[in-house]
Structure 1
Amino acid sequence: MSYRFRPLLMAVLLSTAALAPAYAQQKLKYPKAPPANEIYDAVEKPAQPAGGPEAFGQYLAENQQYPTAALQAGAQGTATVTFVIEKTGSISNVAVAQPLHPLLDAEAIRLVQAAPRWTPAQHRGGVVRQRVTVPISFQIPGDAPAAPATAPAAAGTAGPTTQVVSADQPARPVGGTEAFFEWIQLNQQYPALALQRKAEGRVMMEFIVEKDGSLTDIKPIKRLGSGLDEEAIRLIKAAPKWEPAMYKGQPIKQKMVLPVVFSL
């Protein structure tokens, strides 16, 4: 009896032996670990900002510092920023893929470089580097027109007596923008309520620079409360005259939007 089953037993053993090389070959087909320094555009589990996309959007909005010269020029829009999330979650290789305005591009880069660490991407069972693209929007509060100014309408024109034009030379503070903001800081009287509440931030102010350089129609368009809005109004009202905007060699009125910064 044992002799009868011996060939069958040998056949089973041979079959098992024949499967071994095939199984070994199959194991070699498993994907290898991702290359150490490769940067991926698409991954199985993308990198995530701290707190999620909504928290990252809030960080951008709260920490954006609109450049004064860009505000003066009425520059706004969206800067498309690319960067790499490293395996540690740190941010590197920050660049503007679609430039918007030199000052706004620089601010977009600053915002991303200063952002909190991300949760790194994962791919093929390992942590990898990932390239991320984020649009950063710059919108002048109150939707103020770009370099808004008004000049007399042509003689014989029906309708309004003014027209909207782009100033040949925008209005500017006497002594320059830096001198103007230095004056703001030196003459700022921090409200007691704001000190008590430890309130700080930026009050966005809108006003008109008249033909004689005086500032009128002063109002906050982004408020902070705690007495800071009223102090911002007082400061702009008391500020020195500006150099008016010029159009075809003549002074004209121009609407401006500028921040008054309060910092403890």
Structure 2
Amino acid sequence: MLITIRRLILLLALSAASLATAQAQQKLKYPKTKPDEIYDAVAKPAVPVSGLQGYADYLEKNQQYPTAALQGGQSGTVEVTFVVEKSGSVSSLAVKTPVSPVLDAEALRLIKGGPKWTPAENKGAKVRQRVTIPITFNLPLGAGGPAPMTLDREESKPAVSATGLTVVKADQPARPVGGTDAFFDWLQKNQRYPALARKKSVQGKVMVEFMVQKDGSLTDAKLVKRLGAGCDEEALRLIKAAPKWEPALYQGQPVKQKMVLPVLFHLL
């Protein structure tokens, strides 16, 4: 009986020692969460409060294609890295894969002005997490200075297609008189925000395609991307009423050129 009791005591002691060792190993393997540590991988990643689809919709609706990028034919994907704080706000924004200064700046603006996130969790506690989001800028067909232009049969010296048209690269692209900033300022000053869009808090951009004629007038305006609530009609009205541009030049002669530009609608 004494031997049995001694064995039992020994077994209990060994069990206690094993338990203590296991606990120590567990603590070494799973250290406590550090308050200011930034995690790349966590048990429960951070997600936008509006959900991934809602966040994607926000990016698409609020993206403003910079005028300089449109005129310069710049496009691509800007990867932005940032930290989702425990409060759900974002901080430490940086461009991971730059494309151009104006596109990089617009990508940062989008992320900085976006909705809050649901913070990440690790071991049941909220933690800071590093997140990377790609922002893609797709140049609309016909937008930008380097875009090709269509010449009438009588204007073109190169061989033409069966339709009587040929496509060449402008020696000097069409551009607004006074510059693109002056043109977009004119659009904003003369814009009549549709009552329905204001009532429904509709904001965004309408992409309009138009032709810059040889005399600089803007014609053949049509919608490429709609917004609705009266914004589409207002965008067309603005382009049709806009001041003349400096026409595109090919071999020193003015020619017609097709353009695509955004008309922005933002409530103050």
Is this a same-fold pair by TM over 0.5? yes
What SS is found at the alignment partner of 1:66? coil
What SS is found at the alignment partner of 2:256? strand
Most deviating of 109-118 and 131-140: 131-140
Contact 1:80/1:96 (<8 A) preserved: yes
CA distance in 1, matches of 2:195, 2:13: 88
2:59 is aligned with 1:60: yes
Residue identity opposite 1:150 in structure 2: T
Specify the alignment match of 1:98 in structure 2.
97
Specify the alignment match of 1:19 in structure 2.
15
Contact 1:72/1:256 (<8 A) preserved: no
Contact 1:208/1:215 (<8 A) preserved: yes
Aligned-pair RMSD on alpha carbons?
2.6
Relative to structure 1, the CA distance from residue 166 to residue 50 in structure 2 (aligned partners, 3 Å threshold; closer, same or farther) is farther
CA distance in 2, matches of 1:231, 1:120: 41
What SS is found at the alignment partner of 1:59? helix
Relative to structure 1, the CA distance from residue 62 to residue 29 in structure 2 (aligned partners, 3 Å threshold; closer, same or farther) is same
CA displacement, residues 135-160 of structure 1 (integer Å, 9 cap, x when unaligned): 2222345x446623234544456645
Specify the alignment match of 1:81 in structure 2.
80
Contact 1:72/1:257 (<8 A) preserved: no
2:132 is aligned with 1:133: yes
> How many residue pairs align between the two structures?
259
What SS is found at the alignment partner of 1:29? helix
Specify the alignment match of 1:29 in structure 2.
25
Relative to structure 1, the CA distance from residue 47 to residue 225 in structure 2 (aligned partners, 3 Å threshold; closer, same or farther) is closer
C-alpha deviation, 1:204, in angstroms: 1.9
C-alpha deviation, 1:87, in angstroms: 2.5
CA displacement, residues 124-182 of structure 1 (integer Å, 9 cap, x when unaligned): 443322222222222345x4466232345444566455432333433211111222122
CA distance in 1, matches of 2:100, 2:49: 28
CA distance in 1, matches of 2:202, 2:176: 28
Specify the alignment match of 1:257 in structure 2.
260
Relative to structure 1, the CA distance from residue 196 to residue 131 in structure 2 (aligned partners, 3 Å threshold; closer, same or farther) is closer
Contact 2:160/2:166 (<8 A) preserved: no
CA distance in 2, matches of 1:193, 1:157: 47
2:190 is aligned with 1:187: yes
CA distance in 2, matches of 1:195, 1:127: 39
Gapped runs of 5+ residues in structure 1? none
Contact 2:143/2:261 (<8 A) preserved: no
Most deviating of 124-133 and 49-58: 124-133
CA distance in 1, matches of 2:59, 2:198: 26
Specify the alignment match of 1:163 in structure 2.
166
Gapped runs of 5+ residues in structure 2? none
Relative to structure 1, the CA distance from residue 182 to residue 196 in structure 2 (aligned partners, 3 Å threshold; closer, same or farther) is same
Specify the alignment match of 2:45 in structure 1.
46
Tell me the TM-score normalized by structure 1: 0.84
Contact 1:33/1:125 (<8 A) preserved: no
C-alpha deviation, 1:199, in angstroms: 5.1
Residue identity opposite 1:215 in structure 2: L
Relative to structure 1, the CA distance from residue 56 to residue 262 in structure 2 (aligned partners, 3 Å threshold; closer, same or farther) is closer
CA displacement, residues 181-222 of structure 1 (integer Å, 9 cap, x when unaligned): 222233334455556666554322111112221111111222
Identical columns (%) = 55
C-alpha deviation, 1:123, in angstroms: 2.5
